[in-house]
Structure 1
Amino acid sequence: MSVRNLLDAAFAQPAAPATRVSGRTFTALSSGAWKEFLLGPGAGPGRSGSWDEQLAVLWKRVVAECGEAQRLADEHDIDWELAPHESKAVLALCGPDDVVIDVAAAALATQREQWELERRFARIHRRLPSDLSGLVPADVGALRSALLDEQDFRASTYAVQHDRVVRWLRALTGTAAYLSAAHMVPAPLALDVVTTAPLDEPTRNALRLPAPWSLITHDAVPLRAAQADDDELAALVEAGVCVGPEPVILGGLLAAQPDGRLDTTSGFLLISSLDATGKRCQVLQPTAYGDHGGGRVLYGYAAQLAFARWTAPPVLPVPGPRPTSRSALGRIATSEAGQAGGFHGVRVLDFTPPPEGPPEQRPAPAGSRGPLVVGTWRRAHWKPGVRIGIRDTEGRLVGPVYKDGAVEGLTFTRERRFFPRARVRPDLPLAPTTAVYRIPNPGAASR
């Protein structure tokens, strides 16, 4: 079974329809739309093709990076590089004396100790909020450990073909998630990062990631916001985005090439939803890079990782003689450094909220057609070539940035800068024809 076919079963629960206040409602994602959102326009129903080969390339890499490939060579004299990675999923190998080696279980076993530790910490720290809002860096352990369960670490018979694909995906994404450097986007920027405008080609070419694997997380953003056009996104912002039973995006997993360039073989979006019993589940879904909904989200994450400033993980307090005991984990969980993600090595996006003030009053510029009567929303975006003043050791500008005497390289440099979404003319109301959508909130639901 191909991964594309597997996507049909993932989050099979229909998305809750939006309540229409005026205008048209949002369209729920059908099976074909799921594939198109994640893999691009050519992934609609009835089309041939598979995403298996791209994932096989990453699976080959993950088994080598987690150390299992070296163990296969040392203990069984098996060369992992010679396995047929690009033609099928290599989940098990036959070694000397007909010994069957479960590669998936062995790869996950290399990360089991860290998984168990994060799971214990998550139980001590706190239960995740039902609407996945107000997440803190210390919640990364709960998000990551929930990607796996005890059954994933056990050897499998691989008797059922469907189970093979599910196991392959969980082994690949689970192992890669624990090989990754963790990052968190502050709640006020979550929607902006997910809905960032498409990057220009020079910006894409300049992307360099900070680690071989990067896990980025944030508060829940409805998946419909990631596929919305500008008018629909403005309507969501005005109505107040809230999370219901429909799928939400919690982050993504991105790979880098050895030189730091973005590896576009495949990315993964961390998607969560409520199952039929009301329990929240989550999974890292394979997602293609491109100009479709999911691909734009991945590029938005890559730009933040490449160009934004991230604070280093804080130093934890001395744990004592038993660093993994419940009392030691409890002290870490309640400490300031623990809350800030020190236990999980989380880097947090450096963000200072803009000052709150009254709406700006601006007269119409000379020669304009007349005063504006309505305001609009501008989508978050990256802008290249922004002038940045050069400062001396005491933080003072060494010269002008824009005026006469400004010299590039001497008084200013140019950088890419991220601009969050903003109301253009916030002192004016939106157009009366703007549709407003309200997403129902089912209330508190168990995780």
Structure 2
Amino acid sequence: MSVQRLLDTAFARPALPGARAGRFDVADMGTGPWKQFLLGSHRGSGRTGSWDEQLGILWRRVVAECGVAQQLAAEYDIGWEQLPHETQAVLAVAGPGDVVIDVAAEVLATRHADWKRERRYARIHRRLPADLTGLVPADVGAVRSGLLDENDFRASDYQDPRERFPRWVRTLTGTAAYLAAAHLVPADLALDVATTAPLDEQTRAALRLPAPWSLVVHEPVTLHALEADDDELAALIDAGLCAGPQPAVLGALLAARPDGRIDTTSGFLLLSSLNDDGARSWALQSAAYGDHAAGRALYGYAAQLAFGRWTPPPVLPDPGLRPMSRSALGRIAASEAGRAGAFHAVRVLDFTPPPEEPSEPRSAPATSRGPLMYGTFRRAFWSPGKRIGIRDSTGKLVGPVYKDGAVEGVTFTRERRFFRRTRIRPDLPLAPSTAVYRIPDPKAERR
């Protein structure tokens, strides 16, 4: 199933478990109800030019970073930087003597060994659950290797125009995913991380990513949950519709500039659907940064990478003289370090709740319509200036944090902290989320 068909299907009906889809694959840009989800009303911040131009910029970068650009210069005297990447998908170039060089195949060849390594390990470690729940760090390799198959690594003649764009995007995203540092968001944090409230401008400006490319993976969160406003998200949570067989997001791939700032040329959401046989498949789809659904999610992932605490991967056990043998991989897969992601160098998000702060007395607003009857949810968000007490060498607070005598820089400092989704007024029931429709009376309409 193409990304366009996936999103057309997802947004063409209410947020209910949808029918299973066919083969999942990336597609060229067109029009459809998914456009608002991926791009917003306007192009995201940092975006200029057409969609192909944005991918062309990243394609030029990936070919250089994987070493193929240098290979083209050394072997064929082809200047990769001088080719017109922003006006066409440069998948193949003509070398000396009319030799056609399949650049996409050359790029993927640099990742082939890593792909085979992860795929082999995934088969030994375990079979992924069909619904992709219960993911552990060692499963990241299975998810990443599932972005490509053996046919992608073979040279193409590019005779079928319909295959050019999907091959280009798969090569770009698949290669970048293998250049990326891998991160896993635990299951209980997936919904909050994917649906984080929009960041303030100061927090966006302070974002710095830990690596040139970062891959974030988590359990499925439905597209409807990402798209929902606060009230709709509360209703989806109450109805248990934030996970299930619907089209979903499994994470994202983010790029950084040399100074660590986000490369807002484009981000990539890891979109997933159920196949006809009940198994999930997935692909990375380009999306714009911004205040729309996909853009908010990209910024939410970036904030976790920038400000969150990630446990480093454990040390890989000694694989012995035959590191790729089945017995060696089996020992690693069965080890605690292997399950914790040592084989793929996976970092895991380690969330520590922010320290409590005294609640402020609240007076009823002047426009109050009376006492509240229902509770609700407040979505997860980043606080730009949470007070954190300064402690001495023994771990004791040196002074007050909120009371009289609190002095910033002396008794407390400010940090950005992540607050999880919170139930507001848990003593009150949630508002009814089921709409009741009345069948119109034909006789009344004629009167």
TM-score computed with the length of structure 2 as normaliser? 0.86
Partner in structure 2 of residue 345 of structure 1: 345
Tell me the distance in 2 between the aligned counterparts of 1:7 and 1:141.
23
Tell me the distance in 1 between the aligned counterparts of 2:72 and 2:323.
32
Correspondence 1:8 to 2:4: yes
Q: Aligned-pair distance for 1:204?
A: 0.8
Q: Aligned-pair distance for 1:278?
A: 3.5
Q: How does 1:228-267 map to 2 (within 5 A)?
A: 228-241=228-241, 243-267=243-267
Contact map agreement 1:72 1:80 (CA 8 A) in 2: yes
Partner in structure 1 of residue 434 of structure 2: 435
Q: Aligned-pair distance for 1:371?
A: 5.5
3-state secondary structure, aligned to 1:38: helix
Q: How does 1:149-188 map to 2 (within 5 A)?
A: 149-188=149-188
Q: Deviation per CA, 1:149-174: give whole Å up to 9, x if none.
A: 00111110011111110110000000
Partner in structure 2 of residue 198 of structure 1: 198
3-state secondary structure, aligned to 2:283: strand
Contact map agreement 1:267 1:288 (CA 8 A) in 2: yes
Counterpart of 1:179 in structure 2: which amino acid? L
Q: Aligned-pair distance for 1:16?
A: 9.2
Contact map agreement 1:268 1:287 (CA 8 A) in 2: yes
Partner in structure 2 of residue 395 of structure 1: 395
Contact map agreement 2:7 2:33 (CA 8 A) in 1: no
Tell me the distance in 2 between the aligned counterparts of 1:395 and 1:326.
48
Give the direction of change, closer, same or farther, for the CA distance of 1:242–1:299 in structure 2 (3 Å limit). closer
Tell me the distance in 1 between the aligned counterparts of 2:107 and 2:412.
49
Q: How does 1:359-398 map to 2 (within 5 A)?
A: 372-398=372-398
Counterpart of 1:376 in structure 2: which amino acid? T
Tell me the distance in 2 between the aligned counterparts of 1:367 and 1:212.
49
Instruction: Indicate the larger mover: 175-184 or 122-131.
Output: 122-131
Identical positions, percent = 68
Q: How does 1:264-303 map to 2 (within 5 A)?
A: 264-303=264-303
Q: Aligned-pair distance for 1:52?
A: 0.4
Counterpart of 1:336 in structure 2: which amino acid? E
Tell me the distance in 2 between the aligned counterparts of 1:146 and 1:367.
54
Tell me the distance in 2 between the aligned counterparts of 1:192 and 1:60.
34
Partner in structure 2 of residue 441 of structure 1: none
Partner in structure 2 of residue 407 of structure 1: 407
Contact map agreement 2:176 2:213 (CA 8 A) in 1: yes
Counterpart of 1:207 in structure 2: which amino acid? L
Q: How does 1:58-137 map to 2 (within 5 A)?
A: 58-137=58-137
Tell me the distance in 2 between the aligned counterparts of 1:52 and 1:211.
25
Tell me the distance in 2 between the aligned counterparts of 1:85 and 1:294.
25
Q: Aligned-pair distance for 1:284?
A: 0.1
Contact map agreement 1:69 1:80 (CA 8 A) in 2: yes
Tell me the distance in 1 between the aligned counterparts of 2:112 and 2:318.
24
Instruction: Indicate the larger mover: 90-99 or 171-180.
Output: 90-99
Q: Aligned-pair distance for 1:348?
A: 0.5
Partner in structure 1 of residue 305 of structure 2: 305
Q: Aligned-pair distance for 1:394?
A: 2.7
Tell me the distance in 2 between the aligned counterparts of 1:399 and 1:277.
61
Partner in structure 2 of residue 215 of structure 1: 215
Q: Aligned-pair distance for 1:186?
A: 0.9
Give the direction of change, closer, same or farther, for the CA distance of 1:375–1:15 in structure 2 (3 Å limit). closer
Give the direction of change, closer, same or farther, for the CA distance of 1:93–1:397 in structure 2 (3 Å limit). same
Partner in structure 2 of residue 442 of structure 1: none
Gaps of 5+ in 2: 19-29, 44-48, 437-447
Q: Aligned-pair distance for 1:242?
A: 5.5
Q: Deviation per CA, 1:275-317: give whole Å up to 9, x if none.
A: 3443421100010111111111101101111111111111122
How many residues are matched? Answer: 413
3-state secondary structure, aligned to 1:234: helix
Tell me the distance in 2 between the aligned counterparts of 1:411 and 1:353.
20
TM-score computed with the length of structure 1 as normaliser? 0.86
Instruction: Indicate the larger mover: 383-392 or 238-247.
Output: 238-247
Tell me the distance in 1 between the aligned counterparts of 2:7 and 2:151.
20
Instruction: Indicate the larger mover: 124-133 or 6-15.
Output: 6-15
Contact map agreement 1:91 1:104 (CA 8 A) in 2: yes
Counterpart of 1:287 in structure 2: which amino acid? A
Tell me the distance in 2 between the aligned counterparts of 1:409 and 1:391.
11
Give the direction of change, closer, same or farther, for the CA distance of 1:86–1:297 in structure 2 (3 Å limit). same
Partner in structure 2 of residue 445 of structure 1: none
Gaps of 5+ in 1: 1-5, 44-48, 355-361, 438-447
Tell me the distance in 2 between the aligned counterparts of 1:321 and 1:113.
18
Give the direction of change, closer, same or farther, for the CA distance of 1:105–1:333 in structure 2 (3 Å limit). same
Contact map agreement 1:238 1:436 (CA 8 A) in 2: no
Contact map agreement 2:130 2:279 (CA 8 A) in 1: no
Counterpart of 1:435 in structure 2: which amino acid? T
Q: Aligned-pair distance for 1:352?
A: 4.8
Tell me the distance in 1 between the aligned counterparts of 2:10 and 2:196.
26
Tell me the distance in 2 between the aligned counterparts of 1:277 and 1:14.
19
Give the direction of change, closer, same or farther, for the CA distance of 1:436–1:175 in structure 2 (3 Å limit). farther
Tell me the distance in 2 between the aligned counterparts of 1:140 and 1:220.
13
